[in-house]
Amino acid sequence: MEYVALYRKYRPKTLEQVYGQKYIVDIFKNSIISNKFFHAYLLSGPRGTGKTTIAKLIAKIVNCEKLDGVNPCDNCNSCKLINDRSNPDIIEIDAASNNGVDEIRAIREKVVLMPSVSKYKVYIIDEVHMLSVSAFNALLKTLEEPPKHVIFILATTEIDKVPETIVSRCQCYDFKRISIDDIVSCLSYICECENVSVEEDVLKLIGDYCNGGMRDSIGLLDKLLTYSDNVDKKLFYDVVGLVDDDLIHDIFVNICEKNTNEVFDIIEKMVNSGKNLEIVVEQLLNLMKKLSVNGKYPISQGDFMNVLEGVSNILYNIKFASNQLLFFEIEILKTINLININNIENSNNDTLNIVNNENDDNDDEVQKNISTNSDVNKSDDSKDIIDNKQTFAKINFDPIINNAFALADKKIKVDIVNKWNNFNEYVHNKEFSSIVSYFLDSTIQVAGEKDVIISTDYESIVNNAASNITKLELLFNLVMGKHFNIAFVLTKEWNKLKTKYVNDLKSGKKYNYIEPKDQKDVIIEESADEIELPDVISSAKSVFGDDIVEVK
């Protein structure tokens, strides 16, 4: 018999079997009970969190002839045809490969036809954000005046790319990443049904690695089970290419203790065994992020922040290094030299407990040591670096603004927007609680490879940002996972900058990237040839998006 992938075999057949989306499931249950269905739904959220599953269940439920409460009966003609994937009234479309206006026009021509065997025609359009502008315009007309026998269910992982005109005509539901507990519960059930043995710790590692995606988690479990019916942590780490958390912990402890040779030995062994050094550094940064979120540091607060910034810079730049091992060794040596304390506050095991246990018995003592040693133990060199950066920030944000425009990339901006809510994790963090509101009350406007422009309506934020720029950048880089220079501007000032940028492009001027050592003035040069207007529009849209730029 042909093997069926686990994520297909165990796809939920009822709403009760859907994990991690309780409020959405409850809403649809109430809709079923009251027999109140809308003509269009828009389901958005990370991949593998249940959007397509819910869409298919709703298509089945609205057409079931003998509902069992809120569940399809699976016995009527419509249910059987849907189970066999042969119901002509359930039309699934992948917008990634059918994104042209002709495909949507074909839908418009067919929606007027009555269903063949079911009560409703249901169009499920997956990855709807991939539709072209013309296709969206064609779809809009149908969504405005749909026939009573048609239901549209749109699904997307990038809601920001769906036009507001489409969004406003749909009932919208935002799917969240699924909790580790829900993923473990689902994977445990699958293991029991498949009669296989997998350690619970491995199931937690799978959920964490897949970042709250149920489909990815089940897919990874399926992959692991192809190697063995008895999955342990070693197999997990070998298959996914990660390093055991204990080894990552050993690296961190040795960095804190300034044991340079030990760090080099561990890393060299990892590289020689085939481990990806970028992944190792990313795991190290994630360990430090857990410590930072809890506000519990095994070394002084100031030293911890120096290490955090150093590791963050390594992660960002290591991909460009021709010899990654040598680059890591040089940069980690620089980072270690910024540490003043020669001992770690807790034993090796205690440090792991700090990450995993928010109520550690030694919390009070740790916090006492942090507050005592935080600033006193910074080396003079470290203090000079911070002071110089803050002084520069007070003088001039223009180079950062210039560089953000020079290397503007809308994809980077979208990634930052998707991570923006993660700032909420630091609201109660002792280190960052005083400045996290700067981001929560602001908006990302332009993002380049290394620089971003952030606007705010509050003059106090702009005034205070300069004097807190080092801490702000540490928090920003921690949340985003890579290094950025940031510039805060008032909203009214941002509007002027945006207009100037577009006008500069029209007049044939260009923004050149300024290397950090040369950051004194904004450099805008006349280009050799006038930029054609279509190129201007394209460049501006790549920065601001389709709906903002208006050419007169």
Asked if residues 175 and 43 have their Cβ atoms less than 8 Å apart, the reply is yes
Q: Rounded to whole angstroms, how far apart are CA atoms 86 and 106? A: 20
pLDDT digits (tens, 9 = 90+) for 429-465: 777 877 888 898 899 999 998 999 999 988 878 888 8
* Angle, helix 22-34 to helix 51-63, in steps of 10 degrees: 10
Which of these, 319, 237, 221, 227, lies nearest to 275 by C-alpha position? 237
Asked if residues 129 and 159 have their Cβ atoms less than 8 Å apart, the reply is yes
Structural domains in the chain, sorted by start: 6-174 (3.40.50.300), 180-240 (1.10.8.60), 245-378 (1.20.272.10), 395-544 (no CATH)
Query: How would you classify the pairing of strands 442-447 and 451-456?
Result: antiparallel
- Half-sphere exposure (CA, 13 Å, Cβ side) for 255? 33
Cα 339 from chain centroid (whole Å) = 31
Q: Rounded to whole angstroms, how far apart are CA atoms 372 and 143? A: 62
Specify the 3-state DSSP secondary structure of 183: helix
The reported pLDDT for the residue numbered 540 is: 64
Q: Rounded to whole angstroms, how far apart are CA atoms 255 and 215? A: 37
What dihedral do alpha carbons 195, 201, 202, 207 form, nearest 10°? 110
Render the burial of 512-547: b for 16+ CB within 10 Å, e for the rest.
ebbeeeebeebbbeeeeeebeeeebbebbeebbeee
Q: Which amino acid is at 212?
A: G
Is pTM beyond 0.75 here? no
Per residue of the chain (552 residues), what is the pLDDT tens digit? 578 899 889 999 999 899 989 999 999 999 999 988 899 999 999 989 999 999 999 999 999 988 888 999 989 999 999 988 889 999 998 888 877 788 888 888 888 889 988 899 999 999 999 988 888 888 888 888 788 899 999 999 999 999 999 999 999 999 999 999 999 999 999 999 988 888 888 999 999 888 889 999 999 999 999 988 788 888 898 888 888 888 999 999 999 888 888 998 999 888 888 888 998 999 999 888 888 877 777 788 888 888 888 899 898 888 888 888 888 888 888 888 878 644 444 434 444 444 444 434 444 433 333 333 333 333 343 333 333 333 333 446 788 899 999 999 989 999 999 999 888 888 767 778 778 888 988 999 999 989 999 999 888 788 888 778 888 888 998 899 888 999 999 999 999 998 888 888 888 888 888 876 544 444 444 443 444 444 555 556 666 655 444 433
Render the burial of 481-498: b for 16+ CB within 10 Å, e for the rest.
bbbbbbbbbbeeebeebb
Specify the 3-state DSSP secondary structure of 332: helix
End-to-end CA distance of the chain: 65
Q: Rounded to whole angstroms, how far apart are CA atoms 32 and 276? A: 50
